[in-house]
Chain A
Amino acid sequence: MKRRTAIRNIGLVTGGLLFLPSCNFSPDRVPIVLNKLQISTDEEILLESIVDTILPETDTPGGVALKVQNFVWIQIDDCASPKQQETFLAGLRSFNPLVRERYYDDFVSLDLEKRLEILTSLLQADDTPKSVYDFLNTTKHTSVWGYKNTAYYLTKLMPYQLVPGAFSYKTITINPNEKININA
């Protein structure tokens, strides 16, 4: 492991220990309002924890702080077909039992490093049940899309201009040292 990454990971782990995970487990949390999907608070917390693992807080905000989990739920609720919804929920519902069977604990109660290890292995291993794999894969790609669609990403990381101005379309010579803005 590269030294910088190692240091950062230590920071993350201790951060997690000190400030508790970024997920809100309190019983008075307000459930997300969905049109079609019937989901429990536990399921909401689980998806939040998965999103937090996919896009954790680093020196920039993580997916949960940017409410990427809501984007995922809304996509599945409004835009997925009934069959896709069924597959997604089936995967979500067999995910934690699988984690408990293999790691003897609930996913949400594990620290970030362990959660990361679990997701990495489930997305790579050949013996991951298809429903769990599909669920994680959909969640990852939808989370990445949602993250790239957040105000934070589109103003701070890859700034998007709603009104670029007249004649803003230009051919330019690439400066190899300049960071690429995919929304430029």
Chain B
Amino acid sequence: MPNFNIDSTKENTYDAIVIGSGMSGGWAAKEFTEKGLKTLVLERGREVKHIENYPTTNMMPWELKHGNRIPYDLKKENPIASRCYNFMEDSQHFFTKDKEQPYIQEKPFDWIRGYQTGGKSLLWARQTQRISDLDFEGPARDGFAVDWPIRYKDLAPWYSYVEKFVGISGEYDGLDILPDGEFLKSMGLNGTEKYFRDVVAKKYNNQRHVVYGRCAHITENKDIFIQQGRAMCQTRDLCRRGCPFGGYFSSNSSTLPWAQKTGNLTMRHDAVVHSIIYDDTKEKATGVRVIDAHSKETVEYYAPVIFVNASAFNSNMILLNSKSNRFPNGLGNDNGLLGKYVAFHNYRVSINAEYEGNLGETTIGRRPTSAYIPRFRNLYKQETDFLRGYAAGFGASRRIEQSSEGLGADLKENLMKPTYGNWNVGSHMMGETIPKEESTVTLDSEKTDQYGIPQLRINLDYDDNDRKMIKDYIEQFTEMFEAAGFKNITVNDVPDKAPGLDIHEMGGVRMGHDPKTSLLNKWNQLHACKNVYVTDGACMTSTATQNPSLTYMALTARACDHAIKESKKGNL
């Protein structure tokens, strides 16, 4: 039955295939379908429809059986997921359970995954800071990794393009390290945060900045959001449950329904990508080999352009597992660098203290962002004994003390007499880490997962640069806190806290000018296989300090534009 094969090939052929429906995959889906490309999005997890499949989103606290605590058995079965700050009773269903995808930790690494429609865009911390030229120029200036093949001017219009659609609450700060974007109204810093901002500005002659943390929340009604069916953020601060208002950006609330409306989107769930198919005679990738998560059957899909947005380490895995005569070591891996130079953000340390001033004020309500302190170390030249630097989060909230002394009527009465204490202030570091050749993800030669796909080996750790940076963060923030008169300064360093909980793993398929030293060109195309693009965290040449999702979205939109133009020219 030769016709049968031709028909099924035809049936499984699209104009574009996007692997992954998360933060960046959702953008690829939107861009392609909007431009009329019949697009297949492959998602390895289950379907999570916006609102409909947010089971806890409208629950009152008393409706959660365990008071939002994770039951013992669930915790025990999921030591990795349990270490994530956001893994709670009301959000645990959006986390991939440990046994779904075992991996090998050559060194401890907590790999947090979210396999479902929208991926981790349902769970992200929604901080959206642009990367600047002080970051893009870092590797070339400081002599690590390779030079980024792009600069801020290449990405700036795409940042704007993405921000207008996503909706970013922000303030115009005019800082070179943190370029301004397309902002909606700010939800504001509170009085104590402003006080700290002023103290820091004064003490460091306006060389250190405490700004409002830009975040992907809608704070103004605009037509573009109404068209998406999204409303203003209602400051529930329950984002991890999925937002019924679409107040924060996720693929589920925004890009995927948008792509769906074009009629050009096909979503295939429970589709675990095994590898990308490379045709030695055509000298290009022709499709994707998929294993059905339930039946374990293999299906092939075909398209002239393939976007890899599976999440940083999974994108590495897929390319490493895509072996052909032309690419025996993984797709595009002529130089042997695929899976190398991976890195993360160093989130190991936080500092807490108390502020005894501003006692006449408090805050009410729940704000889904806080203050942000952009990197101030080694901005224009090397000044410290470590490379690069760190950004930091900062927040202040008034402490309310509620006594649970006594028993009986006394206890009940005590509970009804809360009093204001000092302000709690806190900061956490977000350190840039240096991508190194010895930091790798590789495929194990023996162990496979339940789909027969080789397990990932992760070999990544803190290094001396990270440790020096931690020391500096502690010293500098202690000094800044002391300058503000903060008391009871407490440093929380957990040396055995493995990398990974930043959920900012990056690299392995880095961008660069030269095919000898990088995998992707400046358009995110594989140097050696131009119809395959990688635009998630895997493409990052260096990590910068900013929360990276916004950059992945901008890179994706830019790469889609390129792919469409190139395919019209017949270049793919």
Contact = CB atoms under 8 A, between A and B. Distances in A.
B494 interface: no
A75 B409 contact: no
Contact of A53 (B67, B72, B407): B407
A112 B58 CA distance: 39
A160 B63 CA distance: 13
A148 B411 CA distance: 12
A12 B72 CA distance: 39
Given A80-B72, A149-B67, A154-B62, A167 B187 contact: yes
B72 A160 contact: no
Given A167-B187, A167-B219, A145 B67 contact: yes
B15 to A, nearest CB: 40
Interface string A172-184: 1110000110101
A174 B408 CA distance: 30
B361 interface: yes
- Size range of the interface on B? 35 or more
Interface stretch (A37-45, A87-95, A116-124): A116-124
Q: Is the interface of B mostly helix, strand, loop or mixed?
A: loop
Interface in A1-34: 5, 8-9, 12
Contacts of A78: 65-66, 71-73
Question: Interface centre among A150, A168, A173, by most B CB within 10 Å?
Answer: A168
B190 interface: yes
Interface of B: 58, 60-62, 65-67, 69-73, 185, 187-188, 190-191, 219, 232-236, 238, 359-367, 400, 402, 404, 407-409, 411-412, 415-416, 418-420
Given A54-B407, A141-B404, A144-B411, 20 more contacts: A8-B409, A53-B408, A56-B408, A74-B65, A75-B67, A78-B73, A116-B407, A162-B58, A162-B236, A163-B234, A166-B233, A166-B234, A167-B185, A167-B235, A168-B364, A169-B365, A170-B364, A171-B188, A173-B360, A174-B362
Q: Closest 10 A-B residue pairs measured CB to CB? A: A169-B365, A169-B367, A168-B365, A78-B71, A166-B232, A180-B418, A184-B364, A171-B190, A116-B408, A151-B62
22 contacts: A55-B408, A56-B409, A74-B66, A75-B66, A78-B65, A78-B72, A112-B408, A146-B67, A151-B62, A154-B61, A162-B236, A164-B235, A165-B234, A166-B235, A168-B234, A169-B187, A170-B363, A171-B362, A173-B360, A179-B416, A182-B418, A184-B364
Interface of A: 5, 8-9, 12, 53-56, 58, 60, 71, 74-75, 78-81, 112, 116, 119-120, 123, 140-141, 144-151, 154, 157, 160, 162-174, 179-180, 182, 184
